[in-house]
Chain A
Amino acid sequence: MTVEIINEVNKNQLLDSLKRSLEEEPKKIIEAKKSGKKVIGYFCPYVPEELIIAAGMFPVRLVTSGKPGPVPLAEDSSKINNYPSVISCAGEKKTNSDFYNSTFDAICVTSAHCDIRKIQEYRGGHSNLPVFPLGLPRTHNRFRTRPQATEYFENELSLLSRRLGEFCGKKIGYRDILKAMALCNKIREKMRFFYEYPLKERSPIEWREVLQITQAGFLINRFDFLKELEKIEVILKQKRAEDIPFDSRARLMIVGSAIATDDDAFLDIISQAGGNVVTDCTCTGSILLRKRVPAFGIMENPIDSLVERYLYNFPCPYIKDLPNRLDRMLKIARNYRVHGLIYYNSKLCDTWRADFKNIENTFYQELLIPTLFIETDYSLSDVETLKRRVEDFIDIIGGRL
C-alpha cells in the first residue's frame, strides 16, 4: 500500500528508486530472517532505533496502519474507543494483512500514549511476543528543572539496551551504539535538508513527498535507506529554482496526531481543495528531526547523547512542556510563512486534544494564523464533511491574503 501511495504522489520520478527499494524490502527481510536476523517493531518515535540497529536487528516503526478495513477485526479484543491507529494495527496483525505488522519478532514500546501501552499488553498477552517497554518521563522541561528525569531515562535506556542485547544474543557495546548513531544522524541530516525545501515557494519537492520518504524510512533497512536518500539528494540538487513554477497555493502547517502511512484521505482532501502543506508538527513527520545531537566523543557514554536527543527534543504533548512546544511551533510557522494551521486529531487521541484550544489561540494571537480542527478516524464516513470544511477554510485563507 505504501508503494502505491508513493506511486501516486511521485509524479516527477523523484522517488522511483525508493519505490523499488520499498517493494524489495519484504523479500530482503524474509531472507535476513532466514539467516537469523530479527525484526523489532516499535510504535513511538521516542524508542531509540539506534539501540535496535546496534543490536544488529531491523527496526520497523509500526505506523503502517490507517486503513478502515482492519479496525472491526480487532474489536473483539480491543474496544472501538481505542486510538484508531492502534486498533488498525491490531486488526492487521490479526489478519496478517500487512507484511510489516506481521513480521516482527518482538516489540518495543514507550508509555507515551496509553493506547500504546495497551498494545504492549495486547501483543504480549495475546501473541506471546516479547515486549520491551521503555519508561519515558513526562514532567521534565527544557530548563532541566527536573534533572532526575535525565538519570531515570539513562537507566531505562541502559536496561532496554541490555534486554535487546539478550534477545539477539549479542552484547551491545558503546562502539555499536556510536556507529548506529552516526548512521541515524546522517539519515536525519538528509531528511532535515528535504523538509527545508518547502521553505521556498519554488520547491523541487513537496512536503507530502518528503513525508512519504520519511514513512518509507520507517520500513526500509536504514543502510539502504541512506543510499536512497543520497540518490534523491543528487536529483534535487540538479534542479534549478528558476525552472520550477511559483507555488501560490495557501501554505498550510499540519499539527497533531501521528499520520499513519495509509492515512492519506485527509491529505488528499487538502491537496484537492488547493492547499499546500509546507511543514508539520507530527511525530511521523519532521518534529523530531529538528534537533541536531552529535554522537559525543569516543570516550563518552553514547547513552548520554541518546538522552539528549530523545528526552530534550521537540516535546510530544505526552510530555507536559507546552510552552516549549508552542514556542517551537510558532517559530516553524513563522519560518515557513504559514497561512493556516490544520490541527489533525486522531479520534480519541487525548494527548493532542487537550492542547488544541491553547495552540489555536496562541497561533491567532501571535501570528494571526487561523486553525482548522479535524478530528477523524479511518472510517471514511466523514470524508464529504471534511472536504467541505477544508475547502471553506482554504477559501477563507485565500480571501484573507
Chain B
Amino acid sequence: MKLSEWPGFNELRFDTDLKAFDSLMSLFFNSAERTRASGKKVVAKGPLSPVEPIYAIGALAYDPYTHEPIVHGAVNQKLKLTEKAIDAGLSSNSNPWTLIMVGAIVSGKNAVPVDAYSTTCRYGNDQLLDSWQIMARTTKAPLHFWEIPRFDTESEKWAIKYLVKELKQLFEWLTFQTGCKITDQKLIQSIKHSNLLKHDLMEITRMLQIAKVPISALEYYFLQAMISDYSQDPEKLHELYRTLIWELKERESKLLAAPGLVREKPLRLFFVGDEIQELKLWNSIEDYGGVLVGCDAHLSLYYEPIKEDGSAIENLARWIWRMPCNMPTDEMVKAIIPFIKQQKPDAIIISSVVGSRYTPEFESFTREIIKDELGLPVLSLETVLPLNNIGVIDCKIRDFIKTNTY
C-alpha cells in the first residue's frame, strides 16, 4: 500500500524521490508482524525513556505514545478511541496522544502487542505514568517504573549513584520478565548500536544546517519519531538511515533542496515543544515558503552519544541524567539552545498540545527564554486531535512566514 493511500495520508505530500524513506515507513507500519515473528518480548516504554536496557536484555522496545496515535489518530483517524481511554480512568482533559494510546491498548486495538510496561519516572510526566498504570492494569501486564532523579548540578554525585541502582533494578526486572540475563558485554553492545543511530540522526540533522535543506519537514519528523523505539529493529533502522543519508548526501553534493520547497531562500524554522498529530503542518511550512531546520521532539535521545569506555552502566546513567528532557524547563531550554543555534534558524515554532503537561503550562516562560537567548521571532501553536486544528494552524503559519520573510 502506497503511503498516500492511507486515509490520513492522502492529503499529505511525501518526498517520493527518497527511496529509503518508503522502506523506513514500511518498517514503521509493519512493527506488529515483525515483533510477532521475532518471538521476543515487547516492552512498552515512554517516548523519551531510553531503550538501551531493553535491547541489552534481548527484548524489543516499543513506544506506544508515538506509534499508536500516529497509526490510529493521524493515519486511520480513529479518534473515538479517546472515549475508551476515558472509560478506563483517564481524564478527558488529558493529552490526545495519551488518550489515543490508552484507548487503543485498553480496547485491544494496539498496533503492536505488548508483554510488559516499563518507563521512567522523570520530572513532570505524571500523566504518562498514570496512563502506564492504567494500561498495565487493564491488560494485566507487569509494570515497572524506574526513576530519573531531579536535575541539579549540586546533587549530581548521589543522583548518579541512585540512577545506577535504579538501572540495576530495572535489569533485574527485565531478567525476570524475559528469562535472559544482562551482562556488561550485552549492555555495551546495546549502547554501541544506539550510538550508531544517534550518529545517524545527528548527521541528518547536520544536513538541515545548510542553505539547501535536502529533506522535507514531514520526512524529518518521521525519522525522529522512529528513534524513540528504534522501530523494534535497531540494526535494520541503522541500515535504512545510512541508505537515506547516502541519498541526502547525493542531493547535498548536487546542491539540491527537498522537492517541496517553494522559495529559493525559505524562512528557516526550528520546532520546539510537544509533538503534533496535525501532520499537514509539516507540508504547510513548506507551502508558505518556510523550511524545517530542526525539531526538538526527540532531540534528548540523540543530542550526544553515550560514552563507550569505562563502566557501561555508569555511562548510561550519566547520559540519562543529562538528557535535556529531564531538566527543569529553564535549564532544558538553555541546554538545547546550542543545538538550535547550530541549525541557524530564522524563527522558532513552539508547539503545545492541549492537555499535555510538558510544554503548554509554561509555554510563555519557554518563549521568553528563547526570545532572550536567541532574539528570534516565535510562533506559538496549540493543537488537539488531528484534523481539528489545521485551518487555524495553516493561517498562523502563513501569516508568520509572510511577516518574517524579507
Chain A residues within CB distance 8 Å of chain B? 76-79, 81-82, 111, 113-115, 117-118, 120-122, 124-126, 133, 135, 137-139, 146, 148-149, 151-152, 155-156, 159, 318, 320, 322, 347-348, 350-351, 353-354, 356-358, 375
Contact = CB atoms under 8 A, between A and B. Distances in A.
A133 B90 CA distance: 29
B159 A81 contact: no
Contact of B330 (A125, A159, A357): A125
Interface of B: 88-91, 93-94, 121, 123-127, 129-131, 133-134, 137, 145-147, 149-150, 152, 154-155, 158-159, 161-162, 165-166, 169, 328-330, 352, 354-355, 357, 360-365, 368-369
Given A81-B355, A139-B147, A159-B154, 4 more contacts: A114-B125, A125-B368, A146-B165, A159-B152
Contacts of A375: 91
B129 A320 contact: yes
A358 B159 CA distance: 32
A255 to B, nearest CB: 15
Contacts of A155: 155, 158
The 6 A-B residue pairs whose C-beta atoms are closest, nearest first, are A354-B130, A114-B124, A148-B165, A135-B150, A357-B89, A155-B158
A114 B359 CA distance: 11
Given A121-B329, A139-B146, A350 B365 contact: no
A86 to B, nearest CB: 9
Contacts of B150: 111, 133, 135
A111 B123 contact: yes
Contacts, number: 129
A138 B89 contact: no
A286 B121 CA distance: 27
* Main SS at interface, chain A: helix
Contact of B328 (A121, A138, A139, A149): A121
A361 to B, nearest CB: 10
B126 A350 contact: yes
A149 B161 CA distance: 10
Contacts of B131: 354
Contacts of A152: 149, 158-159, 161-162
Contact of A348 (B91, B125, B134, B365): B91
A138 B155 CA distance: 17
A115 B124 CA distance: 8
A354 B134 contact: yes
Contacts of A139: 121, 145-147, 166
Contacts of B124: 111, 114, 117-118
B306 to A, nearest CB: 21
A159 B166 CA distance: 21
Contacts of B166: 139, 146, 148
A138 B152 contact: no
Nearest to A319: B121
Given A146-B169, A155-B155, A79 B88 contact: no
